[in-house]
Amino acid sequence: MLYIAFAVTSASKLYCRLRQPVFVWAFVALIAELVVELYPGAQAWPLYVTLLPIVPMLFFVVALRRAVERLDEMQRQICLHAALLTFLLTIVATLVFAALDRAHLYAARWDDVGTAMMFLWGCCYVFSAWRYR
């Protein structure tokens, strides 16, 4: 019975952390970027429509700054841990994209790294929130 109470409490805390504006804007930016990238008729869209994913990305940056300023010590540790892991994984993704380009297997566009970074930040935030539950 104690285990069930602990699991419910842990799930509740994780759910609260995932409702933070930082995570929500990262998720919205990722979805917007994927829609623009993967939608079959996206090349025919006007330029301002294809640039719309920049808006949630900017809100993500603002929300991240505000979130870090208002956090207590544990939450700050979770957020900064996620940012550190994302930074390191983005460096790895950049090196992988460069290696694939040199091998003439895949020529990554400049926005591929940004899309990967938003996805990695979301995953790292979930991992960090789970780790410190």
Per the confidence metrics, is the pTM higher than 0.95?
no
In tens digits, what is the pLDDT along the chain, a chain of 133 residues? 544 544 555 667 767 767 788 888 888 888 888 888 787 776 777 877 778 888 998 998 898 888 778 888 888 888 888 888 888 988 888 888 889 989 989 887 776 777 777 788 888 888 888 887 7
Handedness of CA 48, 50, 79, 16 (dihedral sign): positive
Closest CA to 133 of 22, 9, 24: 9
Alpha-carbon gap, residue 15 to 28, rounded angstroms? 17
DSSP-assigned states of every residue in 72-127 = -HHHHHHHHHHHHHHHHHHHHHHHHHHHHHHTTS----HHHHHHHHHHHHHHHHHH
What is the residue extent of each domain of the chain? 2-131
